[in-house]
Amino acid sequence: MNVYAIEVKSLRKSYGAHTVLDGIDLSVMKGTIFALLGPNGAGKTTLIHILSTLSSPDGGSARIVGHDVVTERSAVHGSISLTGQFAAVDEVLTGQENLMMMCRLSGLSATEARTRTAELLKRFELQAAAGKRVKAYSGGMRRRLDLALSLVVPRPVLFLDEPTTGLDTVSRRSLWDIILQLKRQGMTIFLTTQYLEEADQLADEIAVLNKGRIVASGTAEELKARVGGEVIELRNQLDEVLMTIPTSGSLSDVQHSLSEVAAVLPPDARVVIRKPSMDDVFLALTTTTSAEHKEVIHV
Ligand SMILES: Nc1ncnc2c1ncn2[C@@H]1O[C@H](COP(=O)(O)OP(=O)(O)OP(=O)(O)O)[C@@H](O)[C@H]1O
Ligand SMILES: [Mg+2]
Q: Give me the CATH number covering residue 173.
A: 3.40.50.300
The answer, yes or no, to whether any atom of ligand 1 lies below 6 A from the CB of 41, is: yes
Establish if 269 belongs to a structural domain.
yes
Q: What separation in Å is there between the alpha carbon of 202 and the centre of ligand 1?
A: 24
Residue 276: CB atoms within 10 A of its CB come to 20
Evaluate whether 274 touches 224 at the Cβ level (below 8 Å): no
The answer, yes or no, to whether any atom of ligand 1 lies below 6 A from the CB of 20, is: yes
Question: CA-CA distance, 194 to 282, in Å (whole number)?
Answer: 10
What 3-state DSSP class applies to 79?
Answer: coil
At residue 299, the pLDDT reads 36
Evaluate whether 198 touches 172 at the Cβ level (below 8 Å): yes
Angle at 259 between CA 290 and CA 267, to 5 degrees: 110
pLDDT tens track for 22-32: 999 999 999 99
> Is the whole model's pTM more than 0.85, yes or no?
no
Please give the number of the atom of ligand 1 that sits closest to the Cα of 42. Answer: 21
* Residue 173, domain extent: 4-222
For residues 25 and 134, membership in a common domain is answered with yes
Residue 99: CB atoms within 10 A of its CB come to 27
For residues 160 and 217, membership in a common domain is answered with yes
Question: CA-CA distance, 127 to 191, in Å (whole number)?
Answer: 26
Spans of the chain below 50 pLDDT? 288-299
Specify the number of domains making up the chain: 2
For residues 50 and 124, membership in a common domain is answered with yes
For residues 83 and 43, membership in a common domain is answered with yes
Establish if 242 belongs to a structural domain.
yes
Establish if 141 belongs to a structural domain.
yes
Closest CA relative to residue 236, chosen from 167, 291, 299? 299
Establish if 71 belongs to a structural domain.
yes
Q: What separation in Å is there between the alpha carbon of 85 and the centre of ligand 2?
A: 6
At residue 227, the pLDDT reads 66
For residues 106 and 236, membership in a common domain is answered with no
At residue 287, the pLDDT reads 64
For residues 246 and 270, membership in a common domain is answered with yes
The answer, yes or no, to whether any atom of ligand 1 lies below 6 A from the CB of 57, is: no
Last residue of a domain, one of 194, 222, 250: 222
Residue 142: CB atoms within 10 A of its CB come to 18
Last residue of a domain, one of 222, 244, 275: 222
The answer, yes or no, to whether any atom of ligand 1 lies below 6 A from the CB of 40, is: yes
The answer, yes or no, to whether any atom of ligand 1 lies below 6 A from the CB of 166, is: no
